[in-house]
Structure 1
Amino acid sequence: MSPNWTAESVPSQQGRTVVITGANSGIGWETATVLAARGASVVLAVRDVDKGKQAAARITAASPGAHVTVQRLDLASLASVRAAAEELRADHPTIDLLINNAGVSHIPREITVDGFERQFATNHLGHFALTGLLLEAMLPVRGSRAVTVSAIAHRTPNGIDFDDLRRERSYNAMAVYGQSKLANLMFTHELQRRLSGGDTTIAVAAHPGLARTDLSRNASLSQRALFKALSPLLQSAAMGALPVLRAATDPDVRGGQYYGPGGSRPREARGYPTLAESSPASHDVAGQRRLWAVSEELTGVLFPV
């Protein structure tokens, strides 16, 4: 048996209901494909329903009999998040896995319909709200997990700039992306602390390393040139999905853990999934609690824990 954790290591998911955001391409689609093949009932929660249906068709073509549905979800709109959560709860009284995967990066400054900077809104606030609204459907399910996908970029910032969340004073797309990915980890750690009194649901995080996805499609010309130069270091989206799959399905995973590629050249960029250590800033308890309070205030979502 291979010592590496691979897609073949994923145990049976028969009878489990999985919601994956941003699952029409890249890491999300690869994750959905494996889970559906293992028997899970998979919901692709996507902004573009037509692309979601095409993605679902590709999955069922590869795994005839797989149960895959599509849910419209625009994480940059709190109204859309609430509507999607209501429909998901109606269709699925219990949810075993929520994988917060969708994200945007390297985009020009943009303000959402709710008045938030788009990267922070999509990558963090939308997922914060969705998790809070779906948690009641997860808490009764033994072994349920909320898995949030972060990134190597979370290591760049030293903390969250709470005084300029709209980025009105300055805007650097890569720096703002890094803060949103740091927020993903701080959210995971604080959620796990709040869940620790129970014995069913856990919060876990993962990152794909440097993988070939379309996440940089909105990057500037100079940034795209940088990604092209880095292309020899990139691993496939299927390999990038393995840390997410491990965080979501490995029975040995514990709450608050963080998984990523275990390769050393360059560190965390490539390789099979293993336990990773997030940055010191992600473990700042005061920062975690402040982020939680700010997120509750901005989204209007209160968690049942």
Structure 2
Amino acid sequence: MNKARTGPWTRVPEQRGRRFVVTGATSGIGLETARRLASVGAEVVLAVRDEAKGEAVAATMAGAVEVRRLDVADLSSVRDFAAGVGPVDVLVNNAGVMGVPYARTVDGFETQIATNHLGHFALANLLLPRLTDRVVVVGSASHRSGDLDVDDLGWERRGYRAYAAYAASKLANLLFLAELQRRLTAAGSTLRATGAHPGYTATAIQAGTGNRAFTRLSGVGNRLLGMPAWRGALPTLYAATMDVAGNSYLGPHRARELNGWPTMVGRSRTASDPDLARLLWTRSESLTGVSFPL
């Protein structure tokens, strides 16, 4: 088994004959993940909200790249995508939003929990019968400050705080990762769930919050501290292509996991709570109407 190591890992192994779905693949980590996978022979499905933007991005990539519409914040779109995409080896749940103002999706969910967790929860479970290898969950070091109220995922009983909601949604990602792997193992499946986070990577997500002060501050931080997107995508690529165990979680190796090369990293005690993970799973099934199929 190839183990993640602290060092300059950049050589993604050849993926010829394998089919990947990457959500949110028109910018940032998702774009660089898809581009690199296509460059090593993979067939890559760009799962994107804006098909025109997806086609423009696909035209810049070498290899077998297909564009399909997917809005993970819309469960009808998730179901349509899952019904039509066909066999898949690896699903990379990458799409996300961060720190956005309070809003509800077409399904009535708070935007961040819907986009970052519920839509991907539904997508993964719908695709499991057609997957041959793994689900990759893209998380964030921000999960460590997350406080998840399973009975109030939509912030209906609490005062909404944009960054607290983001951290909670990323905590949900890690709980989903652990519970998905537990269920796969219990079902005797050879599929696996792995996770990764990009550390501090300079992408457009920091400018999408609607908070001008945060956008300005993030712009400075991106210039001074942020890794380029191709570097930030490496933990995801490692989690998607290397022989790591289920429930592995990768991130940058340097202090506070802000930057560096892919290595195994830890997670908060809350993110490792099996009871909370089961509660979140049950609640997610109830909200999405999608259950574990194996």
**What is the TM-score normalised by the length of structure 1?**
0.91
Aligned to 1:164: 152
Aligned to 1:53: 55
Give 1:57-206 correspondences, 5 Å limit. Answer: 57-59=59-61, 63=62, 66-88=63-85, 92=86, 94-138=87-131, 141=132, 144-157=133-146, 159-168=147-156, 169-197=158-186, 198-206=188-196
The Cα shift of 1:101 comes to: 0.2
Give secondary structure in 2 for the equivalent of 1:35. helix
| Percentage of identical aligned residues | 49
Cα distance in 2 for residues equivalent to 1:42 and 1:5: 25
Q: Deviations over 1:240-298 (max 9, x none)?
A: 000000001112x100010000012xx20000000010111101111000000000000
Cα distance in 2 for residues equivalent to 1:255 and 1:237: 25
Q: Deviations over 1:47-75 (max 9, x none)?
A: 0001111111111xxx2xx1000110011
The Cα shift of 1:162 comes to: 2.1
Cα distance in 2 for residues equivalent to 1:209 and 1:45: 23
User: What CA RMSD, in Å, does the superposition of the two structures yield over aligned residues?
Assistant: 1.3
Cα distance in 2 for residues equivalent to 1:3 and 1:229: 28
Q: Deviations over 1:173-228 (max 9, x none)?
A: 11100000000010000000011143521001100000011112222012113313
Give 1:216-227 correspondences, 5 Å limit. Answer: 216-219=206-209, 220-227=211-218
Cα distance in 2 for residues equivalent to 1:225 and 1:162: 33
* Inter-CA distance 84–238: structure 2 relative to 1 (3 Å threshold): same
Give 1:230-241 correspondences, 5 Å limit. Answer: 230-231=221-222, 232-241=224-233
The Cα shift of 1:96 comes to: 0.8
Gaps of 5+ in 1: none
Aligned residue type for 1:277: G
Give secondary structure in 2 for the equivalent of 1:194. helix
2:242 paired with 1:250: yes
Gaps of 5+ in 2: none
Q: Deviations over 1:127-173 (max 9, x none)?
A: 000001000001xx2xx01001000110112x311232221231111
Aligned to 1:210: 200
* Preserved contact between residue 7 and residue 34 of structure 1 (Cα < 8 Å): no
Q: Deviations over 1:1-43 (max 9, x none)?
A: x9734332x1110100100000011100100111111111000
* Preserved contact between residue 21 and residue 101 of structure 1 (Cα < 8 Å): yes
Cα distance in 2 for residues equivalent to 1:166 and 1:272: 35
Paired residue total = 286
* Inter-CA distance 199–240: structure 2 relative to 1 (3 Å threshold): same
